[in-house]
Amino acid sequence: MTTKKDLPSYDKYFPFVVEAMKARGGSATIEEMEEDVAALMKLPEDLLAVPHKNSSRSQFAYELAWVRTYLKKAGMAENSARGVWALTERGEKATPEELRLIPKKIRWEKKEKDQAPELDLAAAALDLDWRERILTVLGEMKADAFERLSQRVLRESGFTRVEVTGRSGDGGIDGIGVLRVNLVSFHVLFQCKRWKGSVGAAVVRDFRGAMVGRADKGLIITTSTFTAEARKEATRDGAPAIDLVDGETMCQLLKELKLGIQVRLVEEVDVEPAFFSSI
């Protein structure tokens, strides 16, 4: 049985993450990064599907999340609010050996300064933690409850006439909705999968077969991840495109839509002595 012990050691990911971003012009989404790193490292699907603890997130995705955090702490990468990661000039010039030593160097610097855990690393840990908790909760939901949650997310995202069908023997189709973009409307069939381990290409093919002739678009929503082959199958030339929403994306959607997630902002107060001395 494949376990996380079969995955490469943690430090080996760093050069491949940077290489993946360079290959895409210096920036990449999390999805693109995971797909490219898996291909560069020639990691088989069974390794990529190993879950992190009991959550639906894969161990591979969890490791890469921490790699991005360390790259940002080292000033070698930065990210936008939309989840796009980009290399800095320092990151572009870093050697593979320098990249592999980043975690050790950051820990050593912290120890030398005798500081408490760095705030940005602590914040990153909290960020990973809330996602883990959401994915755990989603994984414990009953199938029909997760379908209703997906229905709510689609409605909040602009879909209308969203209906959950969930009929057995319907090729995995769980519901239908209408998405209006300006003056054009699209009928969208969707499938909801609470899943541990990656969703493979066969699921995408079966779903496409069931939706052909019945809708304009297809959407598969899962609490886990999609394999690289599944993503390729979803956008295969000559076949109706199917959009994929994985666990990471679902977490972000729930956060943005404030469904089951509350974001509290901490007030920062700065005193300006110059103001008082000028009186």
- The residues spanned by each domain of the chain are 4-138, 142-257
Distance in angstroms (rounded) separating the CA atoms of residues 54 and 52 = 6
What's domain 142-257's architecture? Answer: 3-Layer(aba) Sandwich (3.40)
pLDDT values of the chain reduced to their tens digit, one per residue, 279 residues: 777 777 888 789 999 999 999 999 999 988 889 889 999 999 988 888 888 876 777 888 888 988 998 999 899 999 886 678 999 999 999 999 999 999 888 777 766 565 554 445 455 555 567 888 888 888 888 888 999 999 999 999 999 999 998 666 566 799 999 998 888 899 999 999 888 778 889 999 999 999 888 888 999 999 988 888 899 999 999 888 899 999 889 988 999 899 988 887 777 788 888 877 877
Distance in angstroms (rounded) separating the CA atoms of residues 224 and 139 = 9
Domains 4-138 and 142-257 belong to one CATH topology: no
Residue 182 is given by DSSP the state: T
Bridge partners of 178, per DSSP, are: 160, 187
β-pair type (77-79, 184-193): unpaired
Domain 4-138, CATH: 1.10.10
Residue 265 is given by DSSP the state: P
Distant-in-sequence, close-in-space partners of 105: CB < 8 Å, separation ≥ 6? 74
pTM over 0.85: no
Cα 112 vs. chain centroid, distance in angstroms? 34
